[in-house]
Amino acid sequence: MNDTLAVDAPSALRYARTIADLPSPKGHPFVGNALQLAGRQMHQKFTGWVREYGPMFRLDVLGHPVVIVSDAATVHGLLRDRPEGFRRAGGLKQVMSELNIGGVFIAEGEAWRKQRKLVMSGLNVEVIRHFFPTMAAMTQGLHDRWTTRLAQGQPIDLKRDLKAMALDIIVGLAMGHRIDAVNHDGDPLQKDIDRLFDRLGQRTTAAFPYWRHVKLPADRAAERASAEIETKVVAFIRDTRERMDRERKPSTMLEAMIVAAEDPDSGFTDEELVSNAILSVVGGEDTTANSIGWMVYLLARHPEAAAALRAEVDAVLGDATLPREWEQLKLFTYLDAAHSETQRLRTVAPYIGLTSNADCVVADTFIPKNTAVIVATAGEGFDDTLFPEPAAFRPERWIAEHRPKREEDPARRVFPFGGGSRLCPGRFLALTEIKMVVAMIVRNFDLTLEPGAPEPTELLNFFMAPSAVPVRLAPRALNREASR
């Protein structure tokens, strides 16, 4: 047993057990469970252990205990107990800041409160609503690209195109710039973000921080990429400052953040503005692209769900190719449900790492100060008493009228966007984008699984990504009239 487990608990706290009493998978001498955790499937290892050891168990990682929690009430309580009781995991913060990704995600205390306000001002409904027509135009561009390629008999690389689309949207919304990565292969910003994510994924799942001792070519490339991203973001900020009309309402996330930062009482520094702008671009791409990729794959595998979704989208859109009115997004009940079901089965941010700020008691267990606690955002999403046949993709579970009365709202049992005061500030943008792009896809294209393609594997590339999106798009069958 190591020192942390043997801590003398203060008598003021009441608890039934200590971390040492928690069940724990058997590890190896000296390194504990560290080697079992390394690799891009780390999150699946956790999920397997949740099934085996229950809603709260312990890992030993190089002599330090790590507590894993998945029951919804405890996860909810932990996420709400921030920033006071818990902070973000120190190891993650270090890895992120080494790659120059910081901003509100790694800030704590007063610095976090201040930056959270800054970021929220840039991602509020008004800013996203203002951007809606541009998002629709970009989605039309994606539709036109696919239609042309199909007419020319050219293949569509869904994974590539969805990432490019997400980048176009986040750079458009956040920076007010149109980069058109969808139509330009090898966009430099996208390449830099890919290099960064490659190392973020590698470093956050490594058993040992090798890069602090020796840098591989990929590490050097990621560090150069990070410097390049910063240069681009600083240039976007400079351009925006020069061009923006301070008399009218901010129309991009960056304008809104610049206005907020110019308030003499705000206390925002230029450095905070830059780091949060970088964070938005980096955080806004893979999250939504991976979510759409998984959703399209699951819909292709479940034609009955795709048909139900298409019926809804047809009814809402009338003759339009894609959503043209903001209000239409509110009518997508089944699309919302299909998104929730996708996040339940393939959540793109599977775990949130925390560290306790003080000795405390969690689920009757004494947790010493500075203990690592990891919460599973899938929560109780695989509990078959709450989600019968949990492996099945069934959007209907999320629609009140399809649920037996006794079942409570399943949304309380899963946490794809986190929770409490650090709940993802980009969720509204993400949902707007997901609805826009998926509605366009099911409205205009038939989806089938790529014949003979293996099932995509889950890769923890910082965010959880599908290894491929093996879905074939075809122009919607000529029975469009008949299907209305």
CA–CA separation, 449 and 256 (whole Å):
42
Do the strands 463-466 and 458-461 form a parallel or antiparallel pair, or are they unpaired? Answer: antiparallel
Q: Which is nearer to ligand HEM, 34 or 189 (CB)?
A: 189
Q: Closer to ligand HEM at the Cβ: 170 or 372?
A: 170
User: Min. distance of Cβ 427 from ligand HEM in angstroms?
Assistant: 6
We find the least distance from the C-beta atom of residue 101 to ligand HEM, in angstroms, to be: 10
Q: Which amino acid is at 102?
A: G
Query: How far is residue 258's CA from residue 316's CA, in Å, rounded to a whole number?
Result: 37
Separation between Cα atoms, residue 157 and residue 176, nearest integer Å: 26
CB 72 within 8 A of CB 412: yes
What is the closest distance, in whole angstroms, from the C-beta atom of residue 484 to ligand HEM in the complex?
Answer: 31
Q: Give 5 or 260: the residue with its C-beta nearer to ligand HEM.
A: 260
14 is written with which tokens?
């009441």
For the bound state, the minimum distance from the C-beta of residue 378 to ligand HEM, rounded and expressed in Å, comes to 11
Closest CB 420 distance from ligand HEM, rounded Å: 6
d(CA 9, CA 226): 43
- CA-wise closest residue to 47 among 382, 353, 393, 385: 382
Gap between the Cα atoms of 443 and 477, Å rounded:
11
Residue 450 gets which letter from DSSP?
Answer: P
Is 35 or 411 the residue whose CB approaches ligand HEM more closely? Answer: 411
Kindly list the residues in this chain that would bind ligand HEM in the complex (CB under 6 A): 79, 104-105, 116, 119, 170, 279-280, 283-284, 287-288, 291, 348-349, 352, 377, 416-419, 422-427, 429-430
Q: How far is the CB of 281 from ligand HEM (least distance, A)?
A: 8
DSSP for residue 104: G
CA atoms within 13 A on the CB side of 343: 27
Which residue, 219 or 336, has its beta carbon nearer to ligand HEM? 336
The nearest distance, CB 347 to ligand HEM, in angstroms, is 7
Q: How many CB atoms lie within 10 A of CB 289?
A: 30
H/E stretch holding 356 reads strand 351-356
* Residues 411/270, Cβ–Cβ less than 8 Å: no
Minimum Å distance from CB 362 to ligand HEM? 16
Judged by beta carbon, residue 34 or residue 118, the one nearer ligand HEM is 118
CB closer to ligand HEM, 190 vs 288: 288
With respect to ligand HEM, which residue has the nearer C-beta, 24 or 288? 288
Query: What are the angstrom distances between the C-alpha of 63 and each of 45, 49, 91, 92, 114?
Result: 19, 19, 15, 18, 36
Under a CB-based contact definition with an 8 Å cutoff, are residues 377 and 363 in contact? no
Q: Compute the least distance from the CB of residue 106 to ligand HEM, in Å.
A: 8
Q: Nearer Cβ to ligand HEM, position 34 or 431? A: 431
Helices 270-301 & 109-122, crossing angle to 10 degrees?
Answer: 60
State which amino acid sits at residue 406.
Answer: R
What is the Cα 271 distance to its own chain's centre?
24
Residue type, 119: V
- Between 60 and 232, name the residue whose CB sits nearer to ligand HEM: 232
CA 262 to chain centre: 30
Cβ at position 308, least distance to ligand HEM in Å: 22
Q: Widest CA span of the chain, in angstroms? A: 74
Q: Report the residue number, 121 or 287, with the smaller CB distance to ligand HEM.
A: 287
Q: How far is the CB of 4 from ligand HEM (least distance, A)?
A: 24
Q: Which of 79, 60, 111 is nearest to 377 (CA)?
A: 79
Question: For residues 67 and 371, is the Cβ–Cβ distance under 8 A?
Answer: yes
- Between 5 and 352, name the residue whose CB sits nearer to ligand HEM: 352
SS3 call for 236: helix
**Phi and psi at residue 320, in whole multiples of 5°?**
-75, 155
Q: How far is the CB of 104 from ligand HEM (least distance, A)?
A: 5
